[in-house]
Amino acid sequence: MKVPVRFDFKCRYLHINRVRRKPGSLVPLEQRICLAAAALLRRGHGTFHGYEIAKSLADAADARLLTAYGTLYRALARLEEMGLLESSPEDPAIAAREGRPGRRLYTLTALGEQAAREARAAAAASQKTKRPRRRLAPA
């Protein structure tokens, strides 16, 4: 019986981008992108484009993570390099028919779904362990 190997995000990411991270972790924006992509997948959207993810993040009150759309597209590229997303160019005929530039379409991979499940579990665990904020006594 073959034992499944856990994907080491840190080693893969460090190899690609040479930055420091906690072992097996994604930055918050990357986690939110995986969660948003998984939500789109559950709603029947097999592929998505960057603007669709940006709208999804804004709707989920995570817009503070996006300081600029360049931040989003760099994060999408990093996720693709890590193997969590796959991308392909949109059919040029569709873009021409709609009178707009072509889009890059992304698909969440099995590793991306796993990362989304782990991010969802981590978020649920942090909500359980979060201490209530202290409130000042009324004057």
Is 128 within the bounds of a domain? no
Question: pLDDT for 92-136, tens place per residue?
Answer: 999 999 999 999 999 999 999 998 898 888 878 777 665 666 677
For residue 26, report the phi and psi dihedrals to the nearest 5 degrees. Answer: -115, 155
DSSP designation for 6: P
Instruction: Report the number of distinct structural domains present in the chain.
Output: 1
Is 58 within the bounds of a domain? yes
Question: pLDDT for 45-75, tens place per residue?
Answer: 889 998 888 888 887 765 566 667 778 889 9
Distance of CA 92 to CAs 43, 95, 114, Å?
25, 5, 32
Structural domain harbouring 60: 9-119
Is 130 within the bounds of a domain? no
Is 83 within the bounds of a domain? yes
Q: Assign residue 32 the CATH number of its domain.
A: 1.10.10.10
Is 138 within the bounds of a domain? no
Cα 62 to Cα 81: distance, rounded to the nearest angstrom? 23
pTM of the model: 0.71
Is 19 within the bounds of a domain? yes
